Amino acid sequence: MKKLIYIVRHGETDYNRLGIVQGQGVDTSLNERGRRQARAFFEHYQSEPFDLVFTSRLRRTHETMHPFIEKGLPWEQFAEINEIGWGSHEGKHSTPEMREEYHKTVSQWKQGKFEARLGNGESAADLAHRLSQFIRHLREREEKQILVCSHGRAMRCLSCLLLEVPIQQMDNYKHHNTGLYVFRYEGERFHLELENDIRHLKSAGLEIGL
C-alpha cells in the first residue's frame, strides 16, 4: 500500500524565541507569530486530501494543527512523538554552560553513544525506542495520507528511523517552525519526498525564524 506521510514541526512559541528549553515537560502555547505560521501552513495545504491528523500530546502541536482539526479532520494524539525530554534543563534559559553540555551530548550521539542524555532527561536510545513504536503504528494504518505534527529533535530522530539510516545522522535533518517533511511509503519502505519545506511561510511573507 502506498501512503504519504506529512510531518510538520509546530509553530513558534515564546520559549523558542527567548531561548528557553522546552522539551516535553514544558507545555507552551504558540505565540502570535506561531499562530500566523500555523495559519499560513493551513492555507497552503488545506486542499490536500488528508485522512487524519496525528499530534503529540503537547499543546503547541495541537494549536498548530487546530485549523485542520476545526475543519473536521479526525485527530489522534501520541505521546510517542512528544519532544525529547531534556530533564532538569526544561523551563530554563539556555546558558553557556547548558549549551556546552548540550553540544557534548549531541557529539556523543554522533559517536554512537546513544545512552548519553542531557540534564537527566531522555537518551537518544529512549527517544528512538518510542518513535519506533509510532512508526509501527504508521505502517499498520490503512489511511493513505496522514498529517503529523511533532517537534524538532523528535523529527530529526524520526527522519532517520523512517529512512533506515543511523540515528548518528539526525542532525542532518534541519527544521524550522512549521517546516514540512514528506515521506512516501511504498514497497514496505519510506522514501523522502520533501525536506524542511517552508514555501508556505515565504508565500505569506513571514520571516523564517528558528
Per-residue pLDDT of the chain (210 residues; tens, 9 = 90+): 899 999 999 999 999 999 999 999 999 999 999 999 999 999 999 999 999 999 999 999 999 999 999 999 999 999 999 999 999 999 999 999 999 999 999 999 999 999 999 989 999 999 999 999 999 999 999 999 999 999 999 999 999 999 999 999 999 999 999 999 999 999 999 999 999 999 999 999 997 665
What helix, strand, coil percent values describe the chain, rounded to 5?
A: 45, 20, 35
Q: In the beta sheet, which residues pair with residue 7?
A: 148, 181
Rounded to a whole number, what is the distance in angstroms from the first to the last CA of the chain? Answer: 35
Place of cell 514528506: 182
Q: What CATH number is attached to the domain comprising 75? A: 3.40.50.1240
pLDDT of residue 209: 60
Q: Locate 186 and state its grid cell.
A: 511504498
Instruction: Print the domain residue range for 57.
Output: 3-203
* Residue 53, pLDDT score: 99
How many folded domains does the chain comprise?
1
Beta-bridge partners for 69: none
Nearest CA-CA partner of 4 in 58, 57, 63, 45: 45
pLDDT score, position 119 = 85
Q: Which residues contact 47 (CB under 8 A, 6 or more apart)?
A: none
Whether residue 209 is contained in a domain is answered as: no
DSSP codes joined into one string, 31-76: -HHHHHHHHHHHHHHTTS---EEEE-SSHHHHHHHHHHHHHT--EE
- Supply the pLDDT for residue 207: 72
Cα atoms in the 13 Å half-sphere on the side-chain side of 16: 23
Whether 124 maps to a domain, the answer reads yes
159 falls within a domain: yes
| 208 inside domain | no
Q: Which three cell numbers stand for residue 119?
A: 540534564
| Domain membership flag for residue 210 | no
Report if residue 125 sits inside a domain. yes
Please, which residues bridge with residue 6 across strands?
147, 182
Say what the pLDDT of residue 84 is: 98
